[in-house]
Structure 1
Amino acid sequence: MFAFLAENLAPIMFLSLIVILLMGYPVAFALAFVGFLFGFVGIEMELLPASLFGAIPDRIFGQMSNETLLAIPFFTFMGLILERSGMAEDLLDTIGQLFGPVRGGLAFAVIFVGAILAATTGVVAASVISMGLISLPIMLRYGYDRRIAAGTIAASGTLAQIIPPSLVLIILADQLGRSVGDMYKGALVPGLLFVAAYAGYIIVMALLNPPSVPALPLEARTLRGWKLVRKAAISLIPPLALIFLVLGTIFIGVATPTEGGAMGATGALVLAALNRRLDLAMMRSALYATAKLSSFVIFILLGARVFSLTFYGVNGHVWVERLMTAIPGGEIGFLIVANLLVFFLAFFLDYFELAFIIIPLLAPVADSLGIDLIWFGVMLAINMQTSFMHPPFGFSLFYLRSVAPARAYRDRVTGETIQPITSGQIYMGALPYLAIQLAMVAIVIMFPGLVTHYKSNAIAVDPSTIELEVPMPGDAGANPFATDGAGAGQVPAVDFGSPTPDFGAPQD
């Protein structure tokens, strides 16, 4: 029995974590509990040194001094201020008027506003709830199919998951040891393809079933001509300017993601003040929600540090690498299995939990197979997007359910009785968009250039002009990372966020 536990402590530890999570315990505390429990078990079995947990303070300090994670509260605060400033309402009203004469015009407006909100707020809940409160009653008023209306709103809100400045892209870049700016550049084209694919679905429905996506009636189109142009300019220019302020400065290298987030938060405050929506109550609410989300992320990250310390100590990373590299099919086989694993776990875990638990295990394997980690990260971000649309646990579906009418009501404009939206209609409406998300994962696997274009901005260097001088052991200027002559010329390995701890094993 002792020998069996000693050889299989890593898989038992991982399975124990899954069981505890399925029992409903908070993820941060479940991670820390499993890490401490199996750490003490390993110490008692003399598989791990008694000084194992002495590394925890350094790990906690390392995370708290990680400047990349500062972008999370900045972008969260920016999104919450914009969500409360009335920007979403103005955008939906204006773009709805622009596309009013077209069948599916309101659905197009929801998709395009979802993309703009994604590029400014980066918060899925804010996008879904805002559009659900504003556009869903209008879509029901003018006869939209309930499944299409619900699915379009829920799916458009999830664009905040993949279109920069997405919070999950920041987390993935940190866990993969890659630049947030490169992750943003790599995710931009797939994010725009999502917008096109969602709009394409509405076009198909307009052709196959026109009554399900009617055009806006003439009496509802109150803005025309110069008034419509003026309203569009007033509504669109400020958020587009904010997008350039945040993403443009990051892409051209003027600002880091953290600095871009700070500028975005400042810009959001300015826009809210210009709209005369900025007050103390809004500030207090936004700051409270930002602190709550940031604390949630940090606690999960610290729990993951405790878990990974023990997991790497019992050679769990070796077990995962052997398991994943043994999959037939090489690189493609690994990508398929990794995406199936993430898709399955997304039924039970949200994207933060997946990023902190699964990514540190898969990233070293992907790197050893020569897979571009930005490509791999964007691919998994698209896959994690499905966690918002999975019936019956998708968070977007829950957000929409919270604002969708649960009982019949009389419309205040037409006076007609509007029937409620059932949970079944919300789930059925989500399925076509879930299929689009899965198809996008396959497209990104087949066409890596959709992501790896981020490399095209790198400075080209002619190899023939490079002169290399390899320092000899003991020379001045030898590799500072080398501990002796044998290590000269080596480059430090990529840190995936959970390095193998050094337990001070005795040297021969």
Structure 2
Amino acid sequence: MADYLHILMFAAAFIALLAGYQVALTLGGIALAFAALGVAFDVFEPRALIFWPSRILGNMSNQVLAAVPLFVIMGVILEKSRVAEDLLIATGRLLSGVRGGLGYAVVIVGALLAASTGIVGATVVTMTLIALPSMLRQGYDKRIAAGTIAASGTLGQIIPPSIVLIVLADTVSNANAEARQAMGQPPSPVSAGDLFTGALLPGMLLVGLYLAYLAFIAIKNPASMPARSQNIDIDQDQDIPSVARTAFSFIAPITLIIAVLGSILGGFTSPTEAAAVGAIGAIILAGIRIRLDDEKTSPFMVISIAGAFALILLILTVWGLKLGWLGNLPEDAPPSLFFSSSLLGKIYAALICGLIGAGTFASLFTLGSSQKLQTSFNSAAQITSMIFLILICAGLFSIVFRGLGGDEFIEHLLINIPGGMWGALAVTMLVMFLMGFFLDFLEITFIIVPLVAPPLIMLGADPVWLAILMAMNLQTSFLTPPFGFALFYLKGAAPPEIDTPDIWRGAIPFIGLQIIALLAVVFIPQLVTALI
């Protein structure tokens, strides 16, 4: 029995999670229980547990993981303040007169929300509540409507900035360092920016496949995706928004996406710095959005708008310094040198930062007075706490599992699978896909990836390419019946006439499209590596 404790440990954790026990405490509790069994059978060295506090400290000081709460705040505030909802309504109004237009709008907005919120549950629920009733009123086939919304909601798994990619970046970077050390090679870090850049083309490929499929259905079976009638609108029960509201619905989130993603992909800022910009930008935009409901212009709205323009000016200044538009800085010099090297630069920095601070304060006041600030921060705190508690307890689980010889067992198993790297990769993808039916992406990322990634990298897999494949695989499992999480989110928010079989049948074509995209990335690695 002592020789199989690592297998029993993994099986016990899997069964406990399926039984519905709390994830983090399950991982920690089972780890301690099997550590005690290992000590009793003299196959586990208890001194290995002294590495757990240092691992926790390392996680808390990890600059990459610091981006997680900031991106969560960004997404939650955009969702709670209805900025995301406005974008969906405005896009649906623009395209709903076209046959299949509402379906196109859902996919496009799903991609934009993925790039601004990155939270699958919030995206699926928001689009279900707003778009699905309108699609049904317009005469859309229930299966097509449900499948389109579920699939578009899962784009937050792969389109950056994604919480999945940030967590995977840290996990795969550690796995890559471990693999290279085992092979006697120098370290080669994998950054979240690398994964964001690598995921861009696969994400756009998925969006293109979704739109092409809907266009094909609209041509083949027009009755299943009709154009809007004269008396039907996506926001039928609401007043027609003003020109200012409509313009804000498009410009605000797109500007924020360009600022955040452009800063990361252009190499102007780190993901953590861009996440801070995104969180502040989301707060300011949410304050402006709420004030737009007022019948008269408020001083708080004016201050928030001034803060938004100051934030944009600051971003453009940093981009200009990095690109040499505003003079040549010394090599590797930070942009702060420009602001601190002269009196004019100091005055400019003080003015810009003062306006951003005032706009942020005005927007926070607006969010607080509208009862949205506390609910947004409470939701963000719950999501962030869940992620980091799982991370901490998964660290303990990993230490004990490795101490019992589990890592050597996994490495031996994968290396000896027929077919070399491709055989091991196929088995890994299949196991992760099946586990995605039952476990959340965080559990798979923190438990499975650290075990399988080092052997795969040692067999020749590129770490960034491997991470994107894993993210796309998890995205597919989010959508696959009967346990896909996106399907549960949709069913919970859908009107009564949408049955579970309708949701399942609607999701199946999109699962096929995701498998096509996954195979394309497998056989054309340049889709990931071309932009890095």
**TM-score past 0.5 threshold:** yes
- Secondary structure of the residue aligned to 2:73 is helix
1:344-423 alignment runs, 5 A limit: 344-406=434-496, 420-423=497-500
Match of 2:191 among 154, 179, 197: 179
Q: Residues 147 and 222 (structure 1 numbering): CA distance in 2 closer, same or farther, change over 3 Å?
A: closer
Instruction: Provide the C-alpha distance between the structure 2 equivalents of 1:190 and 1:328, rounded to a whole number of angstroms.
Output: 28
Match of 1:429 among 492, 506, 530: 506
Amino acid at match of 1:194: L
Match of 2:67 among 71, 81, 84: 71
Instruction: Provide the C-alpha distance between the structure 1 equivalents of 2:170 and 2:234, rounded to a whole number of angstroms.
Output: 48
Q: Residue 348 of structure 1: CA displacement?
A: 0.5
In the alignment, structure 1 residue 191 sits paired with structure 2 residue 187: no
Residues 441-476 of structure 1: CA distance to partner in whole angstroms, max 9, x if unpaired?
A: 211111111001233xxxxxxxxxxxxxxxxxxxxx
Instruction: Provide the C-alpha distance between the structure 2 equivalents of 1:100 and 1:305, rounded to a whole number of angstroms.
Output: 49
Instruction: Give me the TM-score of the superposition, normalised by structure 1.
Output: 0.82
Instruction: Provide the C-alpha distance between the structure 2 equivalents of 1:266 and 1:221, rounded to a whole number of angstroms.
Output: 33
Residues 53-90 of structure 1: CA distance to partner in whole angstroms, max 9, x if unpaired?
A: 22222222222222211111111111111112222332
Q: Pick which of 21-30 and 136-145 moved more.
A: 21-30
Residue in 2 that maps onto 1:450: 527
Residue in 1 that maps onto 2:389: 299
- Secondary structure of the residue aligned to 2:66 is helix
Instruction: Provide the C-alpha distance between the structure 2 equivalents of 1:222 and 1:390, rounded to a whole number of angstroms.
Output: 28
Amino acid at match of 2:280: T
Aligned residues: 435
Match of 1:274 among 288, 312, 323: 288
- Answer yes or no: is the 8 Å Cα contact 1:39–1:52 preserved in 2: no
Residue in 1 that maps onto 2:259: 245
Residue in 1 that maps onto 2:118: 122
Residue in 2 that maps onto 1:158: 154
Q: Residue 232 of structure 1: CA displacement?
A: 6.0
Q: Residue 276 of structure 1: CA displacement?
A: 2.2
Instruction: Give me the TM-score of the superposition, normalised by structure 2.
Output: 0.79
Residue in 2 that maps onto 1:289: 379
- Secondary structure of the residue aligned to 1:69 is coil
Residue in 2 that maps onto 1:495: none
Q: Residues 229 and 204 (structure 1 numbering): CA distance in 2 closer, same or farther, change over 3 Å?
A: farther
Q: Residue 31 of structure 1: CA displacement?
A: 1.3
Instruction: Provide the C-alpha distance between the structure 2 equivalents of 1:205 and 1:349, rounded to a whole number of angstroms.
Output: 33
Instruction: Provide the C-alpha distance between the structure 2 equivalents of 1:129 and 1:23, rounded to a whole number of angstroms.
Output: 25
Instruction: Provide the C-alpha distance between the structure 2 equivalents of 1:152 and 1:358, rounded to a whole number of angstroms.
Output: 30
Q: Residues 222 and 339 (structure 1 numbering): CA distance in 2 closer, same or farther, change over 3 Å?
A: closer
Residue in 1 that maps onto 2:186: none
Instruction: Provide the C-alpha distance between the structure 1 equivalents of 2:531 and 2:89, rounded to a whole number of angstroms.
Output: 35
1:137-148 alignment runs, 5 A limit: 137-148=133-144
Unmatched 5+ residue regions in structure 1? 407-419, 456-508
- Answer yes or no: is the 8 Å Cα contact 1:339–1:383 preserved in 2: yes
Q: Residues 221 and 29 (structure 1 numbering): CA distance in 2 closer, same or farther, change over 3 Å?
A: closer
- Answer yes or no: is the 8 Å Cα contact 2:131–2:234 preserved in 1: no
In the alignment, structure 1 residue 31 sits paired with structure 2 residue 15: no
Amino acid at match of 1:287: F
Q: Residue 222 of structure 1: CA displacement?
A: 11
Q: Residue 233 of structure 1: CA displacement?
A: 4.3
- Secondary structure of the residue aligned to 1:454 is coil
Instruction: Provide the C-alpha distance between the structure 2 equivalents of 1:213 and 1:318, rounded to a whole number of angstroms.
Output: 53
In the alignment, structure 1 residue 58 sits paired with structure 2 residue 54: yes
Instruction: Provide the C-alpha distance between the structure 1 equivalents of 2:15 and 2:230, rounded to a whole number of angstroms.
Output: 57
Instruction: Provide the C-alpha distance between the structure 2 equivalents of 1:285 and 1:160, rounded to a whole number of angstroms.
Output: 22
Residues 21-57 of structure 1: CA distance to partner in whole angstroms, max 9, x if unpaired?
A: 2222222122112211221112122222342322222
Instruction: Provide the C-alpha distance between the structure 1 equivalents of 2:196 and 2:222, rounded to a whole number of angstroms.
Output: 37
Q: Residues 358 and 50 (structure 1 numbering): CA distance in 2 closer, same or farther, change over 3 Å?
A: closer
- Answer yes or no: is the 8 Å Cα contact 2:134–2:234 preserved in 1: no
Residue in 2 that maps onto 1:131: 127
Residues 145-200 of structure 1: CA distance to partner in whole angstroms, max 9, x if unpaired?
A: 01111111111111111100110000000101120000000001011111111111
Q: Residues 47 and 239 (structure 1 numbering): CA distance in 2 closer, same or farther, change over 3 Å?
A: same
Q: Residue 371 of structure 1: CA displacement?
A: 0.8
- Secondary structure of the residue aligned to 2:530 is helix
- Answer yes or no: is the 8 Å Cα contact 1:158–1:385 preserved in 2: yes
Determine what percentage of the aligned residue pairs are the same residue: 45
Residues 465-497 of structure 1: CA distance to partner in whole angstroms, max 9, x if unpaired?
A: xxxxxxxxxxxxxxxxxxxxxxxxxxxxxxxxx
Instruction: Provide the C-alpha distance between the structure 1 equivalents of 2:379 and 2:233, rounded to a whole number of angstroms.
Output: 37
Residues 265-310 of structure 1: CA distance to partner in whole angstroms, max 9, x if unpaired?
A: 1001111111125421211011001110111111111111111111
Instruction: Provide the C-alpha distance between the structure 2 equivalents of 1:18 and 1:220, rounded to a whole number of angstroms.
Output: 48
Match of 2:4 among 2, 8, 12: 8
Amino acid at match of 1:249: S
Unmatched 5+ residue regions in structure 2? 174-189, 236-240, 292-365
Amino acid at match of 2:124: V
Match of 1:236 among 237, 245, 250: 250
Instruction: Provide the C-alpha distance between the structure 2 equivalents of 1:221 and 1:230, rounded to a whole number of angstroms.
Output: 19
Q: Pick which of 78-87 and 93-102 moved more.
A: 93-102
- Secondary structure of the residue aligned to 2:418 is coil
- Answer yes or no: is the 8 Å Cα contact 1:145–1:212 preserved in 2: yes
Q: What's the C-alpha RMSD, in Å, of the aligned pairs?
A: 1.9
Match of 2:518 among 431, 437, 441: 441
- Answer yes or no: is the 8 Å Cα contact 2:164–2:441 preserved in 1: yes
